[in-house]
């Protein structure tokens, strides 16, 4: 998606450790034109895929997932993060290693909000090593729901998480695909090239 790439090029900052900072338009201050177009593009990509629910992880996935769900006319659910694995109730849980914080957390969804009969679109802001998406897949499958696919705002293809999940047969669509990046430049994967 052209606007996503332009904003990354103009406002993104590459930090040491392979983290792209997008606080000025996606993670803290949210650009609403970008958000609207992101929701529309995700809805276009998954039109006809039978999605009846969108699932993400708090916090940074919520805005994008809500924008997509709004365009698709379906509800959005987000997994809550807990520091301990001590979670009670009729829930599904998964342990996810956070790429940006370097620690594990338990993500939790109530079975009241996700279950058999749901065909779920997973949404997140970034795809790096794939841990967050694997957690969302696990929650969906434990709940007895079906994964329709995933939609990601920014995939860092050089970290390989997307490739591994595509090899497992999951449909993954990314709106901006980064081939490589350093402090001076971000290089995108062009359409038609392998992600």
Q: Is 27 in the site for ligand 5GP (CB under 6 A)?
A: yes
**Residue 78 in contact with ligand 5GP, rule: CB under 6 A:** no
- Rounded to a whole number of angstroms, the minimum distance from the CB of residue 105 to ligand 5GP is 11
Question: DSSP characters for 4-68?
Answer: HHHHHHHH-EEETTTEEE-IIIIISS--HHHHHHHHHHHHHHTTTS---EEEEETTTTHHHHHHH
What's the min distance (Å) between Cβ of 20 and ligand 5GP?
Answer: 4
The window from 16-24, 35-43, 78-86, 186-194 that contacts ligand 5GP (CB under 6 A) reads: 16-24
Q: Does 161 bind ligand 5GP (CB under 6 A)?
A: yes
Q: Quote the longest CA-to-CA distance of the chain.
A: 48
Is residue 20 within the footprint of ligand 5GP (CB under 6 A)?
Answer: yes
130 binds ligand 5GP (CB under 6 A): yes
Q: Is the dihedral of CA 128, 46, 51, 73 positive or negative?
A: positive
Binding site for ligand 5GP (CB under 6 A): 19-20, 22, 27, 60, 99-100, 124-133, 156, 161
């Amino acid at each position: 998606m052209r606007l996503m790439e332009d904003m990354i090029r103009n406002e993104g900052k590459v930090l040491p450790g392979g983290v792209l900072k997008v606080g000025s338009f996606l993670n803290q201050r949210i650009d609403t034109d970008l958000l609207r177009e992101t929701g529309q593009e995700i809805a276009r990509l998954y039109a006809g895929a039978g999605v009846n629910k969108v699932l993400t992880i708090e916090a940074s996935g919520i805005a994008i997932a809500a924008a997509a769900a709004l365009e698709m006319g379906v509800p959005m659910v987000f997994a809550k993060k807990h520091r301990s694995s001590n979670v009670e109730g009729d829930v599904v849980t998964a342990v996810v290693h956070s790429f940006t914080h370097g620690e594990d957390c338990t993500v939790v969804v109530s079975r009241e909000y996700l279950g058999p009969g749901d065909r779920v679109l997973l949404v997140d802001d970034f795809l790096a090593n794939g841990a967050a998406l694997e957690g969302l897949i696990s929650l969906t499958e434990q709940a007895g729901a079906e994964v329709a696919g995933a939609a990601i705002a920014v995939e860092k293809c050089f970290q390989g998480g997307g490739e591994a999940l595509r090899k497992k047969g999951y449909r993954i669509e990314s709106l901006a695909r980064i081939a490589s990046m350093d402090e001076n430049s971000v290089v995108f994967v062009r359409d038609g090239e392998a992600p």
